[in-house]
Amino acid sequence: MGRGPVVRCRRAFVAVVLAAVSVVTVSGAGAAHRASGTVAAVEAVRQGPPAVSVAVPAFDVAPARASLARLLGQRTAAQFTLVPVAKGAGGDHFAVSGSAGAIQVRGTSPATLLTGAGWYLKEVAGVDLGWPGDSLGRLPRILPAVAGTVTRSAAVPHRYALNDTDEGYSGAYRDFATYRHDIDRMALHGVNEVFVPTGAEYPYYRAFQQFGYSAAELREWIPGPAHQGWWLLQNMSGFAGPVSEQLIEARAALGRRIADHLRSLGMTPVLPGYFGTVPPEFAARNPGAVTVPQGRWVGFERPAWLDPTGPVFERVAEAYYRIQRERFGDTGLFKMDLLHEGGTPGPVDVAAAAGAVQRALEAARPGATWVMLGWQRNPTAELLSGVDRRRVLILDGLSDRYDGLDRETQWGGAPYAFGTIPNFGGHTTIGANTGVWTSRFHAWLTKPGSALSGIAYLPEGTGQNPAAFALFAELAWRPGAVDQKAWFAGYAARRYGGADPHAAAAWEALRLGPYGMPSGTWSEPQDSLFTARPGLTVTRAARWSPTAMRYDAATVERALAELLRVAPALRTTDAYRYDLVDVARQALTNRSRVLLPRIRTAYQGRDLEGFRALVREWNGHLDLLGRLVASDRRFLLGPWLTDARSWGADAAERDRLEYDARSILTTWGGRGPSEEGGLRDYANREWAGLVHDVYAPRWAAYFETLDRALVTGTDPVAVDWFARDDAWARGHQPYATAPVGDTVALAEEVRAVLQASPAAAVR
């Protein structure tokens, strides 16, 4: 017979085994055992003739299945079969097919499998799992079939998420379950690279004890967790401290769990790199070290910069990366920015310094990529001239903000990601330049010589504006340009789990208004005057926010009216309740820009009765706003403060951490940085607790001084606003952690109030 039939039989057996591998679904220990048995069978076959070659998928689908079970519940998740496939030269891709109740998703990583499941939920099942808000309650018991097989490929390899500031403005005291949920949700939307600053103080803390510093000195130097993002950017140090040993250890442990979860899904944790930040007196304690003073950053004294071209930098970098690797594991992406927001090189050659920073990274992590933020004038041509640009990824934070950008020329062909910062400070404000995204991304990607290789979602705070995240994430997975109008129509249907003409009309109004803002000057909407330090001529709450409306305020009021007419069956979804609060909040907030000029006119005209009537209206709006946001857990201050206190080992530390969490929202820093640098209220937000206990009392006190001035004919008495805000920031009054009130009734009240007081032109 010879060997022919034997080889044919062996090949047939291989085909059967491969077929089994291609449909394996890992679910629990038994399934994992079956999967390992199948792989063992394949390995046995591999011992046959060299001509037989079997490709076995290189990852386990169990983490993706566990994520689906957490997101959807076990019963729904069990209707998905997840199939690993090789990535190949084309990058990440997924395919979705299947009959009712038996949906198959094939994908190139656990995260990509989740992206495929997310696509199915949106496009076939017609539901949304947003950030925040979902309509999963509208899923049928048996998942609907897919018409044919749908495939999608990632247009870019880098799908990056999170600003350096995200932890501070989104909540530095969250627990692992919260981070894990956010990561699962990011994977569902196609993200594959996530910045992880949690515990980033640990390698600094351990490394610098080898360079002449005591543990106590370093704990004084490291800021409180809510302010650490700016320390990592070399902008400040020491505020809201000292931190404790147990806090440093606990945060490092959490950071490791976050990084490990990302790895389990085939996502890349992006860790902070070392570029030269040192504690005070470093040169005096380390012979041969050369440091460059960095001056001040909006009122804060900046840490000094260790010259990367000097003899000591290499040793510090080696210690930093070694300790970081031991505690957080490995990765291939490291985020760092030289001379951020006004840093000075002094006598140091910037190109040589950048080259030294990259060489230190390469020595510690061969093949690693240096991730840097494209912001203001950075990275400069001089900096880029000193590095291997093939090993750089620039996150363009201004892609949708300005016109006339040519990143290929400006950055010399260095790979970059199309990025957006649609939110500063975690402001509760609706909107983004989405039309710029949908017209610009694909054009930049396909132009001759394009160096665009990713997207970067970079709001300074996450957890609001879910439509913006959903649309931006889709840019990387659409085969061509996204039709913005069609996208919002589809979003309106899935957001509440069913088509509804009033939901469609609401989101069309929002598309034309806050989600239709142009490029040229800003990437975020205006913030609220209710949250501003009082004054008759104030035009913004945060110093760097837009000074006027960036869209027609009537669009939001129309959207509110339409949302209140959505079919009762769709009003039960979590997404509807969140959106209703958010849109009603925004409609009411926009009226602050109508009322304040009227109050100013009445005051300047010495119209006491008119002034008092308008002030009553203003105060009434603030009271209603406070009651409205108290009706949804996503707008509560209580959990933010409770989380902070939960990390303290004793009463003193709990108080320090609460101050850290309160001050980042209000005073931001001490009197000097807050008042001189303009950081106060940078992270203003309309949350229950802040509205009634910070913003409303401010305005009431201010209007009382004006009223007294009108009555007595004297000048208004000046108020020390910092003293008031600082007293609140150092307080310990507990706040509700559960919502109260009827959201729909409160939104109806907002509409009635707005209808009773017709708006003039909003300025």
Q: Is residue 484 within 8 Å of 124, Cβ to Cβ? A: no
Averaged pLDDT for residues 667-672: 92
To 10 degrees, what angle do helices 574-590 and 608-629 make?
160
Distance of CA 368 to the CA centre of its chain: 24
Instruction: Tell me what percent of the residues of the chain surpass a pLDDT of 70.
Output: 92
Q: Which residues have C-beta within 8 Å of that of residue 19, sequence separation ≥ 6?
A: none
Q: Tell me the pLDDT tens digit for each residue of 449-485.
A: 999 999 999 999 999 999 999 999 999 999 999 999 9
pLDDT at position 256 over 80: yes
Report which DSSP code applies to 551: S
Tell me the Ramachandran region of residue 105: left when phi exceeds 0, alpha when psi lies from -120 to 50, beta otherwise: beta
CA–CA dist 730, 658 (Å, integer): 8
How big is the chain, counted in residues?
Answer: 763
State the fold for domain 573-756: Four Helix Bundle (Hemerythrin (Met), subunit A) (1.20.120)
Residues 603, 674, 548, 402, Cα dihedral to 10°: 160
pLDDT at position 25 over 60: no
Q: Which residues have C-beta within 8 Å of that of residue 47, sequence separation ≥ 6?
A: none
pLDDT at position 711 over 60: yes
Distances 291 to 287, 309, 356 between C-alpha atoms, Å: 11, 11, 15
Cβ-count burial 496-524 (b if 16+ within 10 Å, e if not): bbbebebbbbbbbbbbbbbbbbebeebbb
Q: Which residues have C-beta within 8 Å of that of residue 578, sequence separation ≥ 6?
A: 132, 133, 466, 632, 634
pLDDT at position 430 over 60: yes
pLDDT at position 9 over 70: no
Distances 676 to 188, 544, 624 between C-alpha atoms, Å: 43, 14, 33
pLDDT at position 39 over 70: no
- What sign results for the dihedral spanned by CA atoms 476, 479, 481, 487? negative
Q: ∠ at Cα 228 (226, 232), nearest 5°?
A: 155
CA–CA dist 682, 388 (Å, integer): 37
Q: Is residue 476 within 8 Å of 154, Cβ to Cβ? A: yes
Cβ-count burial 145-154 (b if 16+ within 10 Å, e if not): ebeeeeebeb
Averaged pLDDT for residues 659-686: 94
Q: Is residue 528 within 8 Å of 539, Cβ to Cβ? A: no
Averaged pLDDT for residues 696-706: 98
Q: Tell me the pLDDT tens digit for each residue of 534-575.
A: 999 999 999 999 999 999 999 999 999 999 999 999 999 999
pLDDT at position 34 over 70: no
Q: ∠ at Cα 116 (194, 633), nearest 5°?
A: 60
pLDDT at position 762 over 60: no
Report which DSSP code applies to 378: B
What is the pLDDT confidence band of residue 757, given thresholds at 50, 70 and 90?
Answer: confident
Q: Tell me the pLDDT tens digit for each residue of 229-239.
A: 999 999 999 99
Give the residue among 471, 530, 509 at the shortest CA–CA distance from 686: 530
φ, ψ of residue 294 in degrees (nearest 5):
-105, 5
Mean pLDDT of the chain: 92
Show the tokens assigned to 22. Answer: 């291609």
Q: In terms of pLDDT, which residue wins out, 582 or 762?
A: 582
Q: Tell me the pLDDT tens digit for each residue of 735-752.
A: 999 999 999 999 999 999
pLDDT at position 223 over 80: yes
CA–CA dist 570, 135 (Å, integer): 9
CA–CA dist 760, 763 (Å, integer): 9
pLDDT at position 24 over 80: no
pLDDT at position 327 over 70: yes
CA–CA dist 370, 358 (Å, integer): 7
pLDDT at position 311 over 70: yes
What is the arrangement of strands in the sheet containing 93-99, beginning at the earlier edge strand? 80-84, 102-107, 93-99, 150-153
Q: Is residue 168 within 8 Å of 229, Cβ to Cβ? A: yes
pLDDT at position 18 over 90: no
pLDDT at position 38 over 70: no
What is the pLDDT confidence band of residue 760, given thresholds at 50, 70 and 90?
Answer: low
Query: How do 452-457 and 416-420 pair as beta strands?
Result: parallel
φ, ψ of residue 541 in degrees (nearest 5):
-90, -45
Averaged pLDDT for residues 101-105: 98
CA–CA dist 77, 66 (Å, integer): 9
For 300-354, strand residue ranges (E) read: 300-301, 304-306, 333-335
pLDDT attached to residue 55: 52
pLDDT at position 44 over 80: no
Q: Say which amino acid occupies 406.
A: D
Report which DSSP code applies to 244: P
How would DSSP label each residue in 121-179?
A: HHHTS---B-SS-B-GGG--SSPPPPSS-EEEE-SSSEEEE--TTHHHHH-TT--HHHH
Q: ∠ at Cα 175 (644, 258), nearest 5°?
A: 130
**Residue 612: burial class (beta carbons within 10 Å; 0-12, 13-18, 19+):** middle
Q: What share of the chain is helix, strand, coil (3-state, %, to 5)?
A: 50, 10, 40
**Residue 745: burial class (beta carbons within 10 Å; 0-12, 13-18, 19+):** exposed
pLDDT attached to residue 49: 34
Long-range CB contact pairs, 38-42, < 8 A, 24+: 41/17, 42/14, 42/17, 42/18
Averaged pLDDT for residues 357-376: 98
pLDDT attached to residue 677: 87
To 10 degrees, what angle do helices 4-22 and 28-46 make?
160
State the fold for domain 59-153: Chitobiase; domain 2 (3.30.379)
- CA atoms within 13 A of residue 182's CA, in its CB half-sphere: 24
Averaged pLDDT for residues 67-81: 98
What is the pLDDT confidence band of residue 90, given thresholds at 50, 70 and 90?
Answer: confident
For 423-561, strand residue ranges (E) read: 452-457
What is the pLDDT confidence band of residue 10, given thresholds at 50, 70 and 90?
Answer: very low
pTM for the predicted model, two decimal places: 0.92
